[in-house]
Amino acid sequence: MKSGNKEIGYGKNTILKVFEEWYTVPSYQRHYVWDSDNVNDLLNDFIDNYKEHSNEEYFLGSYIIQNKVGDNDLLDGQQRITTLFLLFAFLRDYEKSSDDIKTACKELIFQEGNKVKKIAPRVRLNYEIRGNVKEFVDTYIKDDGSITNKWKAIEKMANNRNENTSIQRMCNALCCYRDFFAEHSEIDLDAFVMFILNNVVMIYISADSLEDAFRLFSVMNDRGQKLSNADILKSSNLEKIPDDNDRNYYAREWENMQEDLGNDFDRLLAYVRTMLLKKRQRNNLLDEYENIIFKQEYVKKGYEFFKYVLEVYKDYNTIINLTDSSDPEFSTLIRTLNACMPSTDWVPVVLSYYKKFDSKGIKEFTLRIACKNIADAVCGRSPSQRIDDLNSIIALVDEKDKYEEVLTASEYYAFKQDIFLANIQSDIYGRRYTLALLMLIDYKYRDKSEWKEFGTISIEHILPQNPKQGSQWMKDFTEEQRSYYTHKIGNLCLIGRRKNSSLGNLDYKDKLKRYFEKNIGSFANTQKIYNTYPDRWTPDEVYENQERVIEDLKGIFGINGETPMPLNQEPTKQVPSQEGKLSYMELTKQQYERAYEYWSKEEDQLLIEMGNLGKSDSEIAEKLKRKPSAITARRERLLGEQ
pLDDT, tens digit, 9 for 90 and up, residues 179-230: 999 999 899 999 999 999 999 999 888 877 766 666 666 555 444 445 567 8
**233 within a domain of the structure (yes/no):** no
Q: What pLDDT does 579 receive?
A: 39
- Cross-strand pairs, 71: 68
Last residue of a domain, which of 319, 345, 374? 319
Alpha helix (H) residue ranges in 358-464: 362-378, 383-399, 403-407, 417-424, 434-445
Q: Is the pTM of this model over 0.75?
A: no
Domain count of the fold of the chain: 5
**Same domain for 94 and 12:** yes
Strand 200-207, strand 6-14: pairing: antiparallel
In a domain? residue 223: no
Instruction: State the Cα–Cα distance between residues 413 and 559, nearest whole angstrom.
Output: 12
- Ranges of residues in the chain with a pLDDT under 50 are 1-5, 221-225, 561-581
**In-domain check, residue 310:** yes
Same domain, 210 and 290: no
* Residue 23: strand, helix, or coil: strand
Domain-embedded: residue 61? yes
211 and 274 in a single domain? The answer is no
Contact status, residue 107 vs residue 139, Cβ threshold 8 Å: no
CB 216 within 8 A of CB 62: no
Is there a single domain that holds both residue 311 and residue 376? no
CB atoms within 10 A of CB 393: 24
In a domain, 381, yes or no: yes
Residue 62: what pLDDT? Answer: 85
Judge contact between 109 and 90, C-beta under 8 A: no
Shared domain for 537 and 568, answered yes or no, is: yes
Sign of CA dihedral 26, 27, 30, 32: positive
Range of the domain at 409: 320-414
Query: Are residues 206 and 251 located together in one domain of the fold?
Result: no
Provide the pLDDT for residue 251.
85
- φ, ψ for residue 75 (rounded to 5)? -95, -30
Same domain, 165 and 75: yes
Q: Do 329 and 308 belong to one domain? A: no
Torsion sign across C-alpha atoms 560, 590, 380, 342? positive
Distance from C-alpha of 142 to C-alpha of 107, rounded to nearest angstrom: 11
